Amino acid sequence: MAALHAVEATEIIPPSPAHYFNDYAGIVSQSSAAEFDRQLMQFMAATSNQVVVAVFQKMQSDDDIAAYTQRVAESWAVGQKDKRNGVVLFVFVQDRKMIIQVGYGLEGALPDIVAFNITEYQMKPQFAAGNYEAGLRTGINSIFKAIRGEYTATKPAVQEIPRHHHNIAPLLLLVLSIPISLLFGLHRTATKGVHISSKGTHWTIDWGQVVFFWLNLILGSSSRSSSGSSSSNGGFRGAGGSFGGGGAGSSW
């Protein structure tokens, strides 16, 4: 409880910025800052979509960057209130972190994957080389393009795929393994035994049970209630009464 309180105590939500481009860290020349601000303003005028850039020296929270900047962006209320068409690019220089927060009115045009793409592959290389201005310029232009529907994450997307696969592969495997293991388990229980005749030795699989199971699974719970009783014998008609044969059983 005390720790939680301490986190909240150290977090500061900065006041709403005065400009579209706000460099609180002083990493961009005044002329460039003015140019960026003008571009952002023009974009707002042309498309009504509000893109704000805020460069801070340091994150004033111990929380995760995404959660913190989400709160900041909400308090700033960027974008038109009813359309929620605002975007904020946050950069924290000392933390070497950045993120694009997208109002949900623009999530279609600028989904998280594209936003991540822009920071990770357009901006980060420039920042890593110390070119803050170039990084911000390409970042801003990419955001514009994305909102206009021009940004198709072509080349970086190729790099993105393996990275993404890495995350999704185990999940995919898990999801796939469920029906597969079901299938194997089912075939095990549906395998009734071995049948030896003059034609040789064969495993006997109760296909009726297999088909019944899958039909049941596909058709849903409506018929599931009856599965318990009949699945093991798969609707075997009780012709036992008419059986006039005989035999003997024993155990060893």
Partner 1 sequence: MRTKEFLSRLEHDQIVKAIRDVESKTSGEIRVFIQRGELKDDPLIAAQKRFQRLGLHKNAQHSDVLIFVAPRAHKFAIMGDEAIHRKCGEQLWQRLVEKMREHFRNEKFSHALIEAIREIGEAMATHFPKKSTSTRDREQ
Q: Which residues bind partner 1 (CB under 8 A)?
A: 191-201, 204, 233, 236, 239-240, 243-252
Q: What is the DSSP string of 111-157?
A: -HHHHHHIIIIIIHHHHHTT-HHHHHHHHHHHHHHHHHT-----HHH
Least Å distance, CB 205 to partner 1, is 10
Q: How far is the CB of 234 from partner 1 (least distance, A)?
A: 9
Amino acid at 78: V
Nearer to partner 1, 201 or 222 (CB): 201
Whether residue 109 contacts residue 147, with contact meaning beta carbons closer than 8 Å, is answered with yes
Which residue number, 174 or 248, has a Cβ lying nearer to partner 1? Answer: 248
Q: How far apart are CA 57 and CA 22, in angstroms?
A: 12
- Taking the complex as a whole, the smallest distance from the CB of residue 160 to partner 1 amounts, in Å, to 48
Residue number with CB closer to partner 1 (220 or 245): 245
Q: What is the largest CA-CA distance in the chain?
A: 104
Cβ proximity to partner 1, 130 vs 244, nearer residue: 244
Q: Evaluate whether 214 touches 224 at the Cβ level (below 8 Å).
A: no
Q: CA neighbours within 13 Å on the CB side: how many for 224? A: 7
Q: What's the min distance (Å) between Cβ of 189 and partner 1?
A: 8
Q: How far is the CB of 242 from partner 1 (least distance, A)?
A: 9
| Cβ closest to partner 1, residue 18 vs residue 248 | 248
Closest of 49, 22, 24 to residue 34, by C-alpha? 22
The span from the CA of 90 to the CA of 76, in Å, is 13
Count Cα atoms within 13 angstroms, Cβ side, for 175: 5
Task: Write down the least CB distance from residue 206 to partner 1, Å.
Answer: 8
Q: Which has the closest alpha carbon to 53: 81, 84, 74, 24? A: 24
- Nearest distance, CB of residue 209 and partner 1, angstroms: 12
* Backbone torsions φ then ψ of 225, nearest 5 degrees: -60, -30
Q: Which is closer to partner 1, CB of 26 or CB of 193?
A: 193
